[in-house]
Amino acid sequence: MNLIALTKQYLQFHCFQASTSPFYLFICFCAVCGFRLYQSVPANQMAKEVVNPDELVVVGEELDHVRIITLNRPRHLNVISSKVVSLLAKYLEKWERDEQAQLILIKVGAGRAFSAGGDLKMFYEGRKSKDSCLEVVYRMYWLCYHIHTYKKTQVALVQGISMGGGASLMVPMKFSVVTEKTVFATPEASIGFHVDCGFSYMLSHLPGHLGEYLALTGARLNGKELVVAGLATHFVPLEKLPELEKRLISLNVGDENAVKATIEEFSLHVQLDEDSILNKKQIIDECFSKDTVADIIKSFEVEASKEGNEWIGPVLKGLKRSSPTGLKITLRSIREGRKQTLAESLKKEFRLTMNILRTTISADVYEGIRALTIDKDNAPKWDPPILDQVDDEKIDLVFQPFAEDLELKVPEQEDCRWDGKYENSAYAK
- Residues 301-325: tens digit of each pLDDT: 999 999 999 999 999 999 999 999 9
Pick out the chain residues at pLDDT < 70.
Answer: 1-54, 118-122
Alpha carbons 315 and 226: distance in angstroms, whole number: 19
Q: What is the pTM of this model?
A: 0.88
Q: In CATH, what number does 58-424 get?
A: 3.90.226.10
pLDDT of residue 54: 63
- First-to-last alpha carbon distance for the chain, in angstroms, is 39
> For 61, phi and psi rounded to 5 degrees?
-125, 145
pLDDT of residue 53: 58
Q: Are 330 and 368 in contact (CB under 8 A)?
A: no
Spell out the SS3 assignment of the chain: CCHHHHHHHHHHHCCCCCCCCHHHHHHHHHHHCCCCCCCCCCCCCCCCCCCCCCCCCEEEEEECCEEEEEECCHHHCCCCCHHHHHHHHHHHHHHHHCCCCCEEEEEECCCCEEECCCCHHHHHHCCCCCCCCHHHHHHHHHHHHHHHCCCCEEEEEECCEEEHHHHHHCCCCCEEEECCCCEEECCHHHHCCCCCCCHHHHHHHCCCCHHHHHHHHCCCEEHHHHHHHCCCCEECCHHHHHHHHHHHHHHCCCCHHHHHHHHHHHCCCCCCCCCCHHHHHHHHHHHHCCCCHHHHHHHHHHHHCCCCCCCHHHHHHHHHHCCHHHHHHHHHHHHHHCCCCHHHHHHHHHHHHHHHHCCCCCCHHHHHHHHHHHCCCCCCCCCCCCHHHCCHHHHHHHHCCCCHHHCCCCCCCHHHCCCCCHHHCHHHC
Q: Are 103 and 67 in contact (CB under 8 A)?
A: yes
Q: Are 349 and 141 in contact (CB under 8 A)?
A: yes
* Residue pLDDT, tens place only, 151-165: 999 999 999 999 988
Nearest in space to 245 (alpha carbons), one of 108, 59, 134: 108
pLDDT of residue 374: 87
Mind telling me the catalytic residues?
118, 165, 188, 196
